DNA sequence: GCTTATACAATGCAATCGCATTGTGAAACG
DNA sequence: CGTTTCACAATGCGATTGCATTGTATAAGC
């Protein structure tokens, strides 16, 4: 019938435009027209791929989560961390807004959170993102710790990292200060079991 | 001259309407008209007290921060926590979205964060809120720990609490699970110094 | 080659937005 | 008692919003 177009690929392209807008000017700025302009297509095209603005935003934020997961897996594969501590540092670099990439990701995360507060499907998305991240960390830790401790350690580490995201993004902590807090945390958690 | 009106008090009343809207329907919903309607005044009144929507939002979010600080001080005064652990639990109840009040506060916090990502004055506000909170906790802890440790412990505790806010709000952790994580953390930090 | 389904593009529309302007009633001051 | 000044109320305006509708170019199936 008509032209053959990779539907999902086009959606992802438009989603990328959404993410650029959300990261630089906030969720409110991601209007249909602005997105169309940013993506270099007509507004009709955006409407063709997303029935509603809400669906567009939800897809974009979900897409961003899979991008982040891929980035984490890639980092893990290429840096091959040998010790739990190296793995941990890798996650810090991935999740905390130290460089421009992760600062962008943090701003997107902020958009996700603010929408999740008032939009049920987005809330489910955010909840899934948190559980997914924690599970991922559990799996990374499961070699280095007994299973029972791995779960606990993962929840600890994820909590502290998450708790540092906004202070770091807003300039309350420098990278060195944040890493200091995280190092302390790491020491505490990975102290030999007998000392606990 | 004209009627005598407590200017700041009126601003706070309007800000309360803003906060109600932000908490229930998000920052975007706090339009001048909606705020006027919620506050039960005309749009002209809102404009009379705030020169711009941006200023209105900033004032409302800053106002919310002082309300939260007052609430913390009041809780501290009436519950008179004797041990660091009791103090800590008090802060958890204050900051984590366990009841409807603190869930509202968390949604407001989300609004603050998302705006802080794209609005410089709001960013400063958010940064000040984080440092203010940490300083407050340091002061609470300074009796129970040597000064050097109090700062470190405070940054730890605040980080973990902050890291649990969104998972709790989005239903990833129940109150019991969150408190379990926090208890563990508390144990780690307050373990006798010789064991470190 | 005609049909048909797709992939957009263009435009229209009612609603809403922030903000500016203007009007009015009242109260304090001279 | 008149003037001034503040506290609003009402309305207007241009811009922008999400969404619906319509038009059209293209290309695969029969």
SS (H, E, C) chain A: CCCCCCHHHHHHHHHHHHHHHHHHHCHHHCCHHHHHHHHCCCHHHHHHHCCCHHHHHHHHHHHHHHHHHHHHHHHHHHHCCCCHHHHHHHHHHHHCCCCHHHHHHHHHHHHHHHHHCCCHHHHHHHHHHHHHHHHHHHHHHCCCCCHHHHHHHHHHHHHHHHHHHHHHHCCCCCHHHHHHHHHHHHHHHCCCHHHC
pLDDT at B68 over 60: yes
pLDDT at B140 over 90: no
């202070």: which residue's tokens? A167
A36 CA, C6 C1': Å apart: 20
Query: How would you label A133-150 residue by residue, b for 16+ Cβ within 10 Å and e otherwise?
Result: bbebbbebbeeebeeebb
Whether the CB of A44 is less than 7 Å away from nucleic strand C comes out as: yes
- Report in angstroms the alpha-carbon separations of B154 from A69, B85, B86, B128, B132: 31, 12, 14, 16, 12
pLDDT at B102 over 50: yes
- Lowest mean pLDDT of B22-31, B48-57, B71-80, name the range: B71-80
* Predicted TM-score of the model (pTM): 0.92
Q: Compute the distance between CA of residue B109 and CA of residue B13 in angstroms, rounded to an integer.
A: 19
CB contact under 8 A, B26 and A117: yes
CB contact under 8 A, A163 and B162: yes
| Range A106-119 average pLDDT | 96
pLDDT at B44 over 90: yes
Q: Compute the distance between CA of residue A97 and CA of residue A115 in angstroms, rounded to an integer.
A: 20
Kindly calculate the radius of gyration of chain B based on its CA atoms and give it in whole angstroms: 19
B55 CA, C14 C1': Å apart: 30
Structure tokens at B74: 């009041």
Q: Which residue has the higher pLDDT, A102 or B194?
A: A102
| Range B111-136 average pLDDT | 95
Contact A19, A36 (CB under 8 A): no
Q: Compute the distance between CA of residue A130 and CA of residue A147 in angstroms, rounded to an integer.
A: 20
Band (B141; pLDDT cuts 50, 70, 90):
confident
Structure tokens at A29: 């700025």
CB contact under 8 A, B118 and A107: yes
- Lowest mean pLDDT of A188-192, B15-19, B45-49, B159-163, name the range: A188-192
pLDDT score recorded for residue B162: 96
pLDDT at B195 over 60: no
Cβ neighbours, 10 Å, residue B4: 6
pLDDT at A169 over 80: yes
- Lowest mean pLDDT of A103-112, B112-121, B178-187, name the range: B178-187
Per-chain mean pLDDT for chain B: 91
pLDDT score recorded for residue B107: 96
B29 CA, C23 C1': Å apart: 29
Residue percentage of chain B with pLDDT more than 90: 70
Band (A195; pLDDT cuts 50, 70, 90):
very low
The phi, psi pair for B112, rounded to 5°, reads -60, -45
Protein side of the strand D interface (CB < 7 A): A 1-4, 30-34, 43-44, 47, 51-54; B 1-3, 5, 7, 10, 41-45, 47-48
Dihedral of the CA atoms A127, A128, A130, A135 (nearest 10)?
140
Residue percentage of chain B with pLDDT more than 70: 94
pLDDT score recorded for residue A147: 77
Q: How close, in Å, is residue B5 to chain A by CA atoms? A: 35
């964060």: which residue's tokens? B113
Structure tokens at B162: 């902050």
Q: Which residue has the higher pLDDT, B62 or A84?
A: B62
pLDDT at A184 over 60: yes
Structure tokens at A166: 């906004």
Q: Which residue has the higher pLDDT, B79 or A195?
A: B79
Q: How close, in Å, is residue B110 to chain A by CA atoms? A: 5
| Range B133-159 average pLDDT | 86
A32 CA, D18 C1': Å apart: 8
* Residue-wise pLDDT tens digits, A34-90: 999 999 999 999 999 999 999 999 999 999 999 999 999 999 999 998 888 888 889
Q: CB burial class (10 A; 0-12, 13-18, 19+) of residue A161?
A: buried
CB contact under 8 A, A26 and B118: yes
Per-chain mean pLDDT for chain A: 91
Three-class secondary structure of residue B162 per DSSP? helix
Angle (nearest 5°) at CA B27 between B134 and B129 = 10
Residues of A in contact with B118 (CB under 8 A): 24-26, 29, 107
CA neighbor of B30 nearest in space, from B52, B48, B9: B52
Residue percentage of chain A with pLDDT more than 90: 69
pLDDT at A194 over 80: no
pLDDT at B193 over 80: no
């Amino acid at each position: 019938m008509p032209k053959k177009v990779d539907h999902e690929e086009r959606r992802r392209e438009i989603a990328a435009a959404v993410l650029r807008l959300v990261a630089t000017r906030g969720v409110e700025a991601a209007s249909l027209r602005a997105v169309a302009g940013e993506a270099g297509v007509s507004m009709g095209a955006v409407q063709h791929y997303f029935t509603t603005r809400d669906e567009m935003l939800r897809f974009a934020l979900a897409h961003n989560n899979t991008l982040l997961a891929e980035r984490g897996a890639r980092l893990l594969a290429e840096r091959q961390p040998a010790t739990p501590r190296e793995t941990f540092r890798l996650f810090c670099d991935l999740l905390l807004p130290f460089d421009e990439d992760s600062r962008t990701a943090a701003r997107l995360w902020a958009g996700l959170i603010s929408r999740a507060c008032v939009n049920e499907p987005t809330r489910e998305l955010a909840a899934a993102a948190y559980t997914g991240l924690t599970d991922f960390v559990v799996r990374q830790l499961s070699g280095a710790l007994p299973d029972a401790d791995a779960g606990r350690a993962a929840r600890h580490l994820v909590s502290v990292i998450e708790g540092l995201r906004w202070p770091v993004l807003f300039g309350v902590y420098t990278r060195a200060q944040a890493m200091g807090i995280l190092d302390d945390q790491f020491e505490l958690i990975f102290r030999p079991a007998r000392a606990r």
